Amino acid sequence: MNKKLLVAVSVLGIVLPGFSSCSPTSTDASDKANLHIRTLNKGIGTTWLDNAAKMFEELYADSEEFQEGRKGVKVTVFGDTSLDGDYLNNNVLNDDIYFTEQIDYLGLINKGKLLDITDAMTADLSLYGDAPGKTILSKIDKTMENYLNVSNKYYGVPFYDSFYGLVYDVTLWKEQNLYLSNDPDDRFVPYGDERMTLGSDNIAGTPDDGLPATYEEFGILMSGLQERGIKPFITAQNAKEYFADYLFNVFADYEGVDNVVMNLTLSGTATDLINSVDEDGNVSMMESTAITEKNGYLLTRQAGRYSALDFFKNYLINDSSNYIFADTHTSAQRQFVQKNKSGGAPDVAMIVEGSWFENEASAAIAKETSKTGKRRDFAIMPIPFANEQKAEECNHKHTYLSLSQSFGVVSSNCSNKKLAKEFMKFVHSDKMLSKFTADTSITRPLNYEVSAEDQSKLSNYAKSLIYLKQNSNLVYPYSSLPLEVNNPSVFKHYYFIWKSTVDSTPYNHPWDYFRLGSNPTIKKYFDGQLERMRHEWPIKDN
């Protein structure tokens, strides 16, 4: 959700465009216990938090336990378009609770800015309808829990799942009969046709039926779109990092959980390192190699990196007519959802986006719906496997990354610690996690089920995200390794995955090289990754 749309902030019914404020003391209720919450108001927005605050206030309307002499609770939510990890790093945290992204979790703890909320994380949540003994901590993935655990204390809760992918227009797929077929003489069929392929999960009757399961099938789809005069995808000049994050996931999907985690721990045995690539693209492999902090740069030779570059160059941007450039990512969203445009502009099949797409594009979708009288369906397309052999090796199960570094934290300056911790417990109950997904069409990185009531409110897009999450292996690519934590210029975000130097020119991700470089080749970029990382590696392997 980084680099997201600046939207109006609604505070007590007043719309204040671009508003960002200091601590909301003007809204304090002098007769109630007050709680101030600040959240990033971009792709996810504030509706989920406004609703949770109202329910919490109603639940504790008669309570006198949070502040002597005061009855009830007043929760003030501030949506702030400037709130991110840098804000938390560089400002005094005068509000009580913060929900935002790109947080330097370990750095903020070291600075003493975050409150220890271990007691809230380990508290029984049955008061809020959870099964007895269920806690926030029990819902968190083990690898994420290990990252959050600092000397057996916890200072934050993971906020939202951030999956990058190709979002496709399901309605367009059905209108244009874009589903892949097993019939070699009729490669595209209507939805529901018995000839539809099984998709990447290899199971009939699931949401990915008829979608490309391999790179080759994805290429067939791209050709079919062009034959119909449909632009395969749209992106924005300022959103090329989205491609880097998407390709990061293509790499992860190829490598699987253990090989991805090796990049975070710099330990283990690498079994798929490429030794060399000849001019025809033929590869020779290294022998199994023990990875340590000294030689961790050798992971730039993982076969998944080469495969992701192959997918990018040969299937995504192999033809400039495959894509449309928009000025900003929000204008790309608008163009993507808009159909029957004036001037004969072509329809667009896909957009490179994050899991927050539908929530952030909700105004554009609503506008188009009011014009046409019909709401279009969208979904996230599963990453195609490199080939059928790779799909079988993975048992047709994908690996996905959640990349946002988003957390909910309590400030060490919190004025009412008991109240803040209670709210954190409440909002992370199964009921409220389910309502979050209903309100945002986004999942949270905790183990919970969306209730039947909330499922009835979900869009097709939200259902596709839930299906993806339920049927994939998940990795939260956060490292606690001091070498990585202390060298962000090398390891931050996708840098370790995509940094390269080609013909003396440095690149942080492949987009610029393959679009603008002179006679770009996968071999040059791939080899340049090892050269760049060996040079920048914090420990010299003598």
Q: Provide the CATH number for the domain formed by 164-239+315-400 in this structure.
A: 3.40.190
Instruction: Please report, as a single letter, which amino acid is at residue 168.
Output: Y
**Minimal CA–CA distance to 4: which of 95, 94, 78, 102?**
102
> Alpha-carbon distance 223 to 219, whole Å?
6
> Alpha-carbon distance 489 to 500, whole Å?
13
> Alpha-carbon distance 363 to 361, whole Å?
6
Q: What is the pLDDT of residue 27?
A: 61
Number of H helices, E strands in the chain: 23, 22
Fold agreement between 8-162+402-458 and 164-239+315-400: yes
φ/ψ of 219, rounded to 5, equals -60, -40
| Residue 155 structure tokens | 């200072």
Query: Whole-model pTM?
Result: 0.90
Q: What is the DSSP code (8-state) at residue 273?
A: B
Helix axes 329-337, 362-372, angle to 10 degrees: 20
Q: What is the pLDDT of residue 305?
A: 97
Instruction: Please report, as a single letter, which amino acid is at residue 515.
Output: R
Task: Quickly list DSSP for 410-469.
Answer: EBTT-S-HHHHHHHHHHHTSHHHHHHHHHHHS---SS-----HHHHTT--HHHHHHHHHH
Q: What is the pLDDT of residue 235?
A: 86
Task: Quickly list DSSP for 398-423.
Answer: EEEE-----EEEEBTT-S-HHHHHHH
Q: Which parts of the chain register pLDDT below 50?
A: 1-26
| Cβ-count burial 181-201 (b if 16+ within 10 Å, e if not) | beeeeebbbbeebeebbbbbb
177: Cα within 13 Å, side-chain hemisphere: 9
Q: What is the DSSP code (8-state) at residue 283?
A: E
Q: What is the pLDDT of residue 4?
A: 33
> Alpha-carbon distance 441 to 47, whole Å?
12
Instruction: Please report, as a single letter, which amino acid is at residue 527.
Output: D
| Residue 309 structure tokens | 């570059």
Residue recorded with tokens 């003489």: 185
Type and span of the H or E element at 353: strand 348-354
Q: What is the pLDDT of residue 317?
A: 85
> Alpha-carbon distance 515 to 528, whole Å?
17
CB 60 within 8 A of CB 3: no
> Alpha-carbon distance 11 to 77, whole Å?
8
Domain parsing of the chain, residue ranges: 8-162+402-458, 164-239+315-400, 255-313+480-508+518-536
Q: What is the pLDDT of residue 518?
A: 82
Residue recorded with tokens 């934290």: 409
Rg (CA), the chain: 24
| Residue 444 structure tokens | 């949270």
Q: How far is CA 1 from CA 6, 169, 212, 277, 295, in A?
A: 12, 20, 26, 36, 33
CB 434 within 8 A of CB 417: no
φ/ψ of 380, rounded to 5, equals -95, 130
What kind of fold does domain 8-162+402-458 have according to CATH? Answer: D-Maltodextrin-Binding Protein; domain 2 (3.40.190)
407: Cα within 13 Å, side-chain hemisphere: 26
| Residue 466 structure tokens | 């839930």
Task: Quickly list DSSP for 74-128.
Answer: EEEEEEETT-SHHHHHHS---SSEEEESS--HHHHHHTT-B---HHHHTS--GGG
Beta strands 500-502 and 505-507, pairing class? antiparallel
CB count within 10 Å of CB 278 equals 9
> Alpha-carbon distance 275 to 23, whole Å?
56
Task: Quickly list DSSP for 139-183.
Answer: GS-HHHHHHH-BTTB--EEE-----EEEEEEHHHHHHHT-EEBS-
